[in-house]
């Protein structure tokens, strides 16, 4: 760069030293030069620096993975793996201690419960949802149950998968076989002792449902008929009897209510039409409900927040019919995927771990048994 072109030098700006033929230049107004690296231009690095940097990076890449350990994987590796379901709660609503040893001290878990009348396929649906782990986790009805009219599940059965999804399979609600068992063996009731056995049974079923509404993230309500208005009234009553999640009056905390899926098992072909009457029916009846009925747990391929939680499983007419069984398998897989991806709201103001959830379950059960609202409702029942 030629400086003389940018800053002309006059004769008064230069002096000549004695004995030196060169002139010394004095610049009064010296300009400022800013050197800027061009975009995309890299600074030259010597080979030694380049090799040294690679060695450091290589050393760091080999040592870091050996030092860092995932705490969640460490916790899950210590959890016991289940091979079959265990009893979570007996028919007298007494909590069992055996499931506690299968729970871990971590917060990433999902609780799925199941409700429905006798013989609608609750245990079958729950076994299909856990079929990736072990087939036939929950016992289902066989010929002996159909001949005697007895129900297969008593109380609540418990199973947790490797992905930390807890499944709770409950005894049938409003079951006639439970009434027969109560009358025949005169078993001790956990609810308040009312004179009418049917009233006592309905109250116990409502307490089971209110319990699941408090401790589950997702409730699968199974039916094998069109729609039973009495069961809809049952769900609304159980929602009313649900105890509060906390006794602290925190203005910022919103009371917890689970997602509920209306699952129609043994569905016919006309039930799979896009504009079915069930959608309008459920939307109107649960318009004022605080249960999360529109979470996108539906038949669509893509989850939509505004979609009604309505799902259909087809009837298997012939056990050897391969096509129908394949369709059922795909639908179960779709239902499982949507349930696993549902939004998990906190049940309490503080985040629970699996073991803390078990202790919370115990407190909820005691609150339901001692609920003054349940006692008054049972007293006023016809």
Structural contact between residues 336 and 215, judged by C-beta atoms closer than 8 angstroms: no
236-265: average pLDDT: 85
Structural contact between residues 224 and 121, judged by C-beta atoms closer than 8 angstroms: yes
Q: What is the predicted pLDDT for the residue at 316?
A: 63
Residue 223, strand partner residues = 264
For the chain, percent of residues with pLDDT exceeding 90: 37
Q: What is the pLDDT of residues 245-259, one digit of tens each?
A: 866 656 667 889 999
For the chain, percent of residues with pLDDT exceeding 70: 65
The better pLDDT of the pair 18, 170 is held by 170
Question: What's the whole-number average pLDDT of the chain?
Answer: 77
Alpha helices in the chain (DSSP H): 3-6, 47-67, 71-77, 122-129, 143-148, 176-185, 197-215, 229-241, 277-285, 322-340, 354-369, 372-380
CA distance linking residue 378 with residue 92, whole number of Å: 17
Q: What is the pLDDT of residues 48-57, one digit of tens each?
A: 555 544 444 4
- Reply yes or no on whether the pLDDT at 4 is more than 50: no
Contacts of 268 (CB under 8 A, 6+ apart): 314, 315
- Reply yes or no on whether the pLDDT at 216 is more than 90: yes
Q: How does DSSP assign 232-284, residue by residue?
A: HHHHHHHHHHPPPS-SS--TTPPPP--EEEEEEEEE-GGGGSSS-HHHHHHHH
Q: What single-letter DSSP state applies at residue 19?
A: T
- Reply yes or no on whether the pLDDT at 185 is more than 80: no
Q: What is the predicted pLDDT for the residue at 269?
A: 77
In this predicted structure, which of 45-59, 154-168, 200-214, 303-317 has the lowest mean pLDDT? 45-59
- Reply yes or no on whether the pLDDT at 58 is more than 50: no
Joined tokens for residue 167: 């499944």
Q: What is the predicted pLDDT for the residue at 97?
A: 92
- Reply yes or no on whether the pLDDT at 203 is more than 60: yes
Q: What is the predicted pLDDT for the residue at 62?
A: 47
Confidence band of 16 (pLDDT split at 50, 70, 90): very low
> What is the set of domains in the chain, with CATH numbers?
86-178+196-246+255-380 (3.40.50.300)
Q: What is the pLDDT of residues 297-334, one digit of tens each?
A: 988 887 556 789 999 988 765 554 444 445 778 899 99
Q: Which long-range contacts (CB under 8 A, 24 or more apart) does 201-207 make?
A: 201/174, 201/175, 202/174, 202/381, 203/374, 203/377, 203/378, 203/381, 204/93, 205/173, 205/174, 205/175, 205/234, 206/234, 206/237, 206/238, 206/241, 206/374, 206/377, 207/93, 207/241, 207/368, 207/369, 207/374
Structural contact between residues 308 and 282, judged by C-beta atoms closer than 8 angstroms: yes
247-276: average pLDDT: 80
In this predicted structure, which of 132-141, 159-168, 344-353, 363-372 has the lowest mean pLDDT? 132-141
The better pLDDT of the pair 150, 377 is held by 377
Q: What is the pLDDT of residues 70-120, one digit of tens each?
A: 555 555 556 788 888 999 999 888 999 999 999 999 999 999 999 999 888
CA 154, 293, 235, 262 torsion: positive or negative?
Answer: negative
Q: What is the predicted pLDDT for the residue at 88?
A: 96
């Amino acid at each position: 760069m030629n400086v003389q072109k940018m800053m002309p030098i006059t004769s008064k700006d230069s002096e000549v030293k004695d004995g030196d033929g060169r002139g010394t230049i004095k610049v009064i107004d010296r300009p400022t030069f800013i050197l800027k690296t061009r975009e995309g231009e890299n600074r030259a690095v010597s080979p030694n620096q380049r090799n040294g940097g690679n060695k450091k990076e290589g050393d760091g890449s080999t040592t870091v993975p050996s030092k860092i350990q995932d705490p969640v994987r460490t916790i899950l590796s210590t959890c016991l793996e289940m091979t079959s379901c265990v009893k979570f709660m007996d028919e007298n609503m007494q909590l069992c201690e055996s499931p506690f040893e299968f729970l871990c001290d971590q917060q990433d878990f999902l609780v799925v419960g199941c409700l429905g009348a006798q013989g609608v396929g609750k245990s079958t649906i729950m076994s299909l949802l856990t079929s990736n782990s072990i087939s036939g986790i929950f016992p289902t009805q066989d010929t002996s149950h159909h001949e005697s009219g007895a129900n297969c599940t008593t109380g609540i059965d418990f199973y947790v998968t490797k992905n930390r999804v807890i499944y709770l399979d409950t005894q049938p609600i409003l079951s006639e076989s439970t009434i027969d068992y109560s009358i025949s063996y005169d078993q001790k009731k956990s609810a308040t002792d009312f004179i009418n056995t049917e009233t006592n049974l309905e109250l116990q079923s409502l307490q089971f449902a209110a319990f699941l509404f408090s401790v589950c993230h997702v409730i699968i309500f199974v039916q094998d008929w069109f729609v039973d208005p009495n069961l809809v009234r049952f769900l609304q009553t159980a929602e009313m009897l649900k105890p509060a999640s906390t006794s602290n009056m925190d203005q910022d905390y919103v009371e917890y209510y689970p997602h509920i899926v209306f699952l129609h098992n043994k569905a016919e072909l006309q039930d799979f039409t896009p504009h079915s009457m069930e959608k309008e029916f459920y939307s109107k009846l649960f318009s004022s409900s605080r249960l999360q009925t529109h979470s996108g747990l539906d038949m669509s391929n893509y989850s939509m927040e505004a979609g009604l939680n309505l799902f259909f499983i087809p009837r298997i007419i012939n056990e050897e019919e391969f096509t129908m069984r394949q369709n059922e398998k795909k639908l179960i897989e779709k239902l499982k995927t949507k349930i696993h991806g549902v939004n998990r709201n906190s049940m309490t103001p503080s985040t629970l771990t699996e073991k803390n959830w078990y202790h919370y379950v115990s407190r909820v059960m005691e609150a339901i048994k001692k609920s003054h609202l349940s006692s008054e409702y049972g007293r006023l029942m016809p």
